Amino acid sequence: MADRPIVIVTRKLPDVVETRLRELFDARLNLDDKPFSREELIEAVKTANVLVPTVTDRIDRAVLSQAGPDLKLISQFGTGVDNIDLETARNRSIIVTNTPGVLTEDTADMTMALILAVPRRLTEGAIMLKTDSGEWQGWSPTWMLGHRIYGKRLGIVGMGRIGQAVAKRARAFGLQIHYHNRRRVAPDVEKALEATYWDSLDQMLARMDIVSVNCPHTPATYHLLSARRLKMLRPEAFIVNTSRGEVIDENALARLIESGEIAGAGLDVFEHEPAVNPKLVKLARAGKVVLLPHTGSATIEGRIDMGEKVIINIKTFIDGHRPPDRVLPSML
Ligand code: 8YV
């Protein structure tokens, strides 16, 4: 590959990252941050040696089938790669990398914020005073009561980096840690987190006060929290999702919260982003759910670190080495 490969970046990245990309590569940047259309994406895969997409770019088989012979690397700006058809990329000998680890703490912080915000009715109170609705007539002993977090059972679905970082924070808030994962984590990790492993997701869901979804979206986890499983949650239970919307059957979730079979939810991700299910918006207005615009990892530090990882993956690759954050279909 040429020393200064054509690197096409599909979204606006932090200035310091863009400056570095320009210094190192023939970088084609997206300064107005207008998301690429499908046609622009296809044009990019035809032209680029390296593509730097994000979660908002659907890099599916149809797009990859039109990739030019010189597209050798897709260096995703993000950890989740469910927007990329990894199988087709591999079949076309296109390497795929992501940016794991650097957004773990930020995403875990936002998860903890939602674990606190929903049961403690945080946004309800904030919006009430912000909109000057006149609803608040001063302190009252029985008004705007939420639910205690301390001592409750938290069930984490997906005990990878982010799941473990959530567990660490939740323990500090006095929550009991439970988890379900494809594989049990190492005994020393389980011990350090005082985490109880549940082989059966169904059995765990039926006993938790709060459930946090922290697993990647893969064909195996699509609607992992199906209508059948959501019905297993107790009426006092809350669910939080900072992974991917597709892991939860959103319509079923809205239905069960509306009917009072689930107490509430804190969602940072949605099945059809950026479209947000109108039923969820209605529940947000009723204070039953807290909805955030996919800002789990949205810190300037995190985004610069993600950019650094993209650059390291590209640089290592063009220097003929195996990029550190390669993603293979088998890994998911
Ligand atoms: C990213 C995320 O910002 O990393 C992920 O998987 O969801 C976010 O942190 C987004 O994916 C950018 O591509």
Ligand 1 pocket, residue 79 CB under 6 Å: yes
Phi/psi of residue 85, nearest 5 degrees: -80, 90
Residue type, 183: R
Q: Is 80 in the pocket of ligand 1 (CB under 6 A)?
A: yes
- Of the candidates 121, 178, 244, 303, the residue annotated as catalytic is 244
**pLDDT for res 140:** 95
Quick one: DSSP state of residue 160?
A: S
> How do the pLDDT tens digits run along the chain, 332 residues long?
667 999 999 999 999 999 999 999 999 999 999 999 999 999 999 999 999 999 999 999 999 999 999 999 999 999 999 999 999 999 999 999 999 999 999 999 999 999 999 999 999 999 999 887 788 889 999 999 999 999 999 999 999 999 999 999 999 999 999 999 999 999 999 999 999 999 999 999 999 999 999 999 999 999 999 999 999 999 999 999 999 999 999 999 999 999 999 999 999 999 999 999 999 999 999 999 999 999 999 999 999 999 999 999 999 999 999 999 999 877 76
Tell me what pLDDT residue 268 has: 98
If you measure from the C-alpha of residue 116 to the centroid of ligand 1, how many angstroms do you get, rounded to a whole number?
A: 22
103 lines ligand 1 (CB under 6 A): yes
Backbone angles phi, psi at 210, to 5 degrees: -135, 135
| pLDDT confidence of residue 3 | 72
- For ligand 1, atom 10, name the residue with the nearest CA: 78
The reply to whether ligand 1 has any atom less than 6 angstroms from the CB of 10 is no
Is residue 270 lining ligand 1, measured as CB closer than 6 Å?
no
**Burial group, residue 103, by CB count within 10 angstroms (0-12, 13-18, 19+):** buried
Q: What is d(CA 144, CA 287) in angstroms, rounded to the nearest whole number?
A: 11
| CA nearest neighbour of 80 among 161, 9, 13 | 161
Please calculate the CA angle 38-43-47 and round it to the nearest 5 degrees. 150
Residue that the structure tokens 């030019």 belong to = 68
Contacts of 202 (CB under 8 A, 6+ apart): 229, 232
Per-residue confidence (pLDDT) for residue 69, from 0 to 100: 96
Phi and psi dihedrals of 126, rounded to 5?
-65, -45
Which 3 state secondary structure label does DSSP give 257? helix
Q: Find the 274 Cα to ligand 1 centroid distance in Å.
A: 13
Compute the distance between CA of residue 169 and CA of residue 175 in angstroms, rounded to an integer: 9
State residue 142's pLDDT score.
Answer: 95
Q: Is 20 a catalytic residue?
A: no
Sequence-distant (≥ 6) Cβ neighbours of residue 249 within 8 angstroms = 223, 225, 226, 227, 230
User: Is position 273 annotated as part of the catalytic site?
Assistant: yes
Q: Could you tell me which of 131, 158, 277 has the C-alpha nearest to residue 217?
A: 158
* End-to-end CA gap in the chain: 28
Q: How far is the CA of 297 from the centre of ligand 1 (A)?
A: 7
Task: Compute the C-alpha angle 108/111/112, nearest 5°.
Answer: 90
CB 292 within 8 A of CB 245: no
Q: Which two tokens stand for residue 105?
A: 């703490």
Output the six-digit token pair for 293: 């615009």
pTM value is 0.96
Residue 249 to residue 220: CA distance in whole angstroms? 14
244 labelled catalytic: yes
Q: Which two tokens stand for residue 244?
A: 């991917």
